[in-house]
Structure 1
Amino acid sequence: MPKHSIRGATAATALVCLAAFGPVPSSSAAAAPPSAAPHPAGQPGAAGSSRFVPGPCPKPPEPIEALSDAQCGYLEVPENRSRPGGRTIKLAVARIPAASDKPAADPVVFMAGGPGADTFDDIPFLVDSGLNKDRELIVMAQRGNRYDQPNLACPEVDRFNGQAVGLGYDAQQAERIMLKAVTDCRTRLMADGVDLSAYNSTENAADFADLRKALDIPRWNVYGYSYGSNLALTYLRLHPEGIRAVAIDSIAPSQFVTLPWTWGSTAEGIRNIFAACAAQPACKDRYPDLPRLLTEQVRELEARPLTLNVTPPDGGKPVKTVLDGGALLNLIVAFTPRPKDMPAALEELSKGNPERFAQARAAGSVQKVGEFAHGLTNSIACSEWAPGYSESDVLKAGQKAYPGWPDTVLAQPPQLPFQYPVCGIWNVPDRASVQRVPTSSSVPALVISGTFDVKTGASWARGVARNLSNSTSVQVPGIGHWVVPQSPCAQSVLASFFAHPTAPDTRCVDDLEPQPFTIIPK
């Protein structure tokens, strides 16, 4: 998926953040040149030419305080380990010292969501969550991310996302503009010599294995969220040596993640939010039938979309904003508005006041161009998550999750509009058989989920935990995607786990309840 974490997401941002996803050929695919040959199935390759080169830390537009004391540099690795003698790429690395005067010997390495999210942008959330309190925190941008060489950003797609707020969510015009942006990005990356087939979870996992060796670290701990949980499981399966403990947050199980899968996760999270409202007397009294209310508003907006001039939340000129059924659902999946405000926002919408949703939609008009690696997103989504399913499979999954909703809403996977024609253009090899494999391990593991997660449904963690024989599972009530930064209790559990991997203290979860929902007067 997904930046889909606690900061929200644009319509075309990956879910896992997913932060989710063989491609269905489209007319665009016919003209697309083939990508480079696939990596041999299941063969991660040798570390060989990998090395760490110290260097200056990246300089984000908004300074990150933790980088002022960090040691940085690049990990140089083969772009494609199946091609000896091929070119190397550079991955940005930061080593953030522990706050403690007597830190533990085994650091924590972080695996970000996305795929494609800016890893360094997550550092303030990690530090605020205490990840470097007792241990060094190591952050590496996954291949193709911002600050890497090459960077698989697609400014063309970012600019489309800015335009998309003024178009119907699944409108033909939106599809045409997006596919042109994807085509232009692919053409540019290929002209630069990028081997799009090499940007996958197997190579990603091998990069982290090489990093541990290059830094001469005997053992370390792993923490990953959303797509980073998928990557952490892949890493544990292919490179278990040197891993002391693994914590995964907001689970995207590598054996289950497909495009149709997104619908079940979305429905589960929304269902849990509505059930939590029903369990609070004040919320139940004020909003007695939220499932019906949501269905009515999705149907109404899809039949009669609202076109508004809306000032984005951060100011600026008003922008044309279209709010239809698909946009409404995807704003909810992006946690805009926040779950505690969702019942109130739906009630206001039903009474003719769309302001909360319209403002959230208009916010997408302001894009940070070039920060998100859409190229990495597409390479992974199209090789690992899309194969084996079709657009009709996505529609069927949507109809199962929300019977009676318009097919025009259900035809697009949440937060991944037009992904099948995109994959037809991106044209990377099918790697589903390599990646859709469960991870079985006795390495101590912590599995953290939030009940309000509408991107990676909390119940999917059970299937992962069953294969991790030495695991502890924690489900945090009332928290959405990427649990740890949002929950002091989850932060405490994570710290306890790294201190005592086989016996973490999880007692704080027992008394947790979702916070009260926003109640607007009748």
Structure 2
Amino acid sequence: MRALPLLILLPPLALAHASGLQLEPHTFRAKDGRTVEAELGALKVPLRHARPEGPSLTLRFVRFKSTNPKPGAPIVYLAGGPGGSGIEAARGVRYELFLALREVADVIALDQRGTGQSNPHPQLSHPWTVPLDQPMDAAMLDATLKEAATQAAREWAAAGVDLGAFNTVESAEDLESLRQALGAPRLNLWGISYGTHLGLAYLRRHADKVERVILAGVEGPDDTWKRPAHAEALLDRWDALLRAQDKSGKRLRSRLKTLLDELERSPRPVKFTDPKTGASQTWLASRFDLQLAAFESLRDPATFQRFLALLSALEAGAFEAMAPFAPLLRGGTLEPMPLAMDAASGVSPTRRARIAREAGTAMLGGAVNAGVPEAAWIPGMVDLGEAFRGPLKASNPVLMISGTLDGRTPPDNAEALRPGLSRAVHLVLEGAGHDGLFQSDPRILERMKSFMRGEKVADERLEVKGAR
């Protein structure tokens, strides 16, 4: 009898080792103390996939085994950010989603390269600050972050970090390595925000290895830089919602414009206590500070409701209400993976020109992209180019989920992909923001499970619990 290939004779655990994959039993504990039996996985992948014999890094993930006797293709969760941890997402408010989707297939909470337990340089970060005693504008913020990014890249390179290895194409190839190591003919992908950006990159490169894709809060291939017109449209939507509640109230845009003009004429000193040092400081709040605060608040209904309370305080002359924003708007830290990922994805010349035109007349101006890193700022970084950002065509089933009050990834992003995704359906959640795309209504999970089971799911708009 002909000898069987060695891999056929190996037991399952040895087979995993032979493919470079390690799996071990693991009691997974959620943040609220609940536990479930799972597997902890580790997979070595090339730091640069074009150089398989070169340096490597270890991806780590948790696999929740399916409760279905005939499971489908593994469902891989792709966290947002960039920089979010899939494992930590499973520990938090999405714990029940991970367990529920086991009805369909194994569910994998992946820490992408450079994140969570897959971060080879967790100790590295670089601070940046804009002087508190000067009125800030977009140019000042850009210059500050450019200098900080350049300096950070040099420091990290000296510490052995290959920043050019942290981009969405390399992460997409990590998914392909994971698929091969698992011995899965195909993968199901489940991404949110930046995770959709990664999922789309994998779909472009390996469509034949994809079963189905759920994209919530879609960041398309050329959506890393945000459009000012989308923020303007969301301000108008909020204005309509507020006027429906109180027709006698002053228009939101008028209120915001009055305050922006006031800060343009005369930036206001705001005293606050530094949360890190406990020292008392004074911040000269500018028009641009308020524009930034408005844009950051638009991400979700809950955050924008707090911004509306801030507007009321400012109208009453209580500018000290801006104090909590000081450490958020005038400083922060850079970390290798998030910085490199956004810089490498970049922006097309056509979109850059469109953004510049829109920013010229938008109420929030250039605040929607202020400080977004560019590959040209960073030694060792290469822009992924137009082949990465160009139109995408695929015939795989895709479920896109968008919230009408999402100030980060508006429904327009999903609709722009329609021409190339011939089997896409769009679930639009009326009243949902960026943070409410999975659990603002129990019907969302039901649609997700139906879709992953291969059942027919159609375009739909659902009214969910939102700000109204």
TM-score range, shorter chain: 0.7 to 0.9
Cα deviation for residue 427 of structure 1 reads: 5.0
Cα deviation for residue 223 of structure 1 reads: 1.0
Partners of 1:182 and 1:425 within 8 A in 2: yes
Partners of 1:66 and 1:96 within 8 A in 2: no
The correspondence for 2:258, drawn from 296, 312, 335, is 296
The residue number in structure 2 matching 1:185 is 152
The residue number in structure 1 matching 2:202 is 235
The residue number in structure 2 matching 1:76 is 44
SS at match of 2:128: helix
Say whether residues 1:428 and 2:390 are aligned partners.
no
Cα deviation for residue 391 of structure 1 reads: 8.3
Partners of 2:114 and 2:121 within 8 A in 1: yes
Cα deviation for residue 320 of structure 1 reads: 4.0
Larger radius of gyration: 2
Cα deviation for residue 82 of structure 1 reads: 1.9
Partners of 2:111 and 2:118 within 8 A in 1: yes
Identity of aligned residues (%): 22
Partners of 1:479 and 1:486 within 8 A in 2: no
C-alpha distance in 2 between matches for 1:345 and 1:359: 10
The residue number in structure 2 matching 1:498 is 452
Cα deviation for residue 375 of structure 1 reads: 2.2
1:91-148 deviations in Å (ceiling 9; x for gaps): 22122345x5868443321111122234433223463452321313212222222322
Higher RCO (Cα < 8 Å, 6 or more apart): 1
C-alpha distance in 2 between matches for 1:466 and 1:153: 43
Residue 217 of structure 1 aligns with an amino acid whose one-letter code is: A
The correspondence for 1:285, drawn from 228, 238, 248, is 248
Superposition pairs for residues 173-322 of structure 1, below 5 Å?
178-254=145-221, 256-257=222-223, 259=225, 261-278=226-243, 280-282=244-246, 284-286=247-249, 288-311=250-273, 319-322=281-284
Cα deviation for residue 445 of structure 1 reads: 1.0
The residue number in structure 1 matching 2:100 is 133
The residue number in structure 2 matching 1:348 is 313
Residue 351 of structure 1 aligns with an amino acid whose one-letter code is: A
C-alpha distance in 1 between matches for 2:174 and 2:433: 29
Distance 1:184 1:338, change over 3 A: same
C-alpha distance in 1 between matches for 2:458 and 2:46: 41
The residue number in structure 2 matching 1:419 is 373
The correspondence for 1:144, drawn from 114, 118, 133, is 114
Distance 1:505 1:67, change over 3 A: farther
C-alpha distance in 2 between matches for 1:326 and 1:220: 44
Superposition pairs for residues 348-367 of structure 1, below 5 Å?
348-354=313-319, 356-362=321-327
Say whether residues 1:444 and 2:408 are aligned partners.
no
Partners of 2:113 and 2:166 within 8 A in 1: yes
C-alpha distance in 1 between matches for 2:96 and 2:236: 28
Say whether residues 1:410 and 2:365 are aligned partners.
yes
Superposition pairs for residues 378-397 of structure 1, below 5 Å?
378-386=339-347, 388=349, 394-397=355-358
C-alpha distance in 1 between matches for 2:190 and 2:380: 31
Question: Which residues of structure 2 form unaligned runs of 5+?
Answer: 1-17
Residue 70 of structure 1 aligns with an amino acid whose one-letter code is: A
Cα deviation for residue 452 of structure 1 reads: 1.2
Cα deviation for residue 243 of structure 1 reads: 2.2
Residue 262 of structure 1 aligns with an amino acid whose one-letter code is: R
Q: Which deviates more, 461-470 or 245-254?
A: 461-470
Distance 1:356 1:243, change over 3 A: farther
C-alpha distance in 2 between matches for 1:328 and 1:57: 47
C-alpha distance in 2 between matches for 1:389 and 1:154: 35
C-alpha distance in 2 between matches for 1:484 and 1:313: 31
1:268-296 deviations in Å (ceiling 9; x for gaps): 33332222223x233x433x311121122
SS at match of 1:209: helix
Q: Report the TM-score, using the length of structure 1 for normalisation.
A: 0.73
Q: Which deviates more, 297-306 or 232-241?
A: 297-306
Cα deviation for residue 379 of structure 1 reads: 2.4
Partners of 1:301 and 1:323 within 8 A in 2: yes
C-alpha distance in 2 between matches for 1:330 and 1:52: 44
Distance 1:148 1:301, change over 3 A: same
Cα deviation for residue 317 of structure 1 reads: 5.7
Cα deviation for residue 392 of structure 1 reads: 7.8
C-alpha distance in 2 between matches for 1:511 and 1:145: 34
Distance 1:305 1:119, change over 3 A: farther
Cα deviation for residue 497 of structure 1 reads: 2.2
Partners of 1:154 and 1:185 within 8 A in 2: no
Superposition pairs for residues 64-143 of structure 1, below 5 Å?
65=33, 69-97=37-65, 104-125=71-92, 127-128=94-95, 130-135=97-102, 136-143=106-113
Superposition pairs for residues 435-514 of structure 1, below 5 Å?
435-488=388-441, 489-499=443-453, 501-504=454-457, 509-512=461-464, 514=466
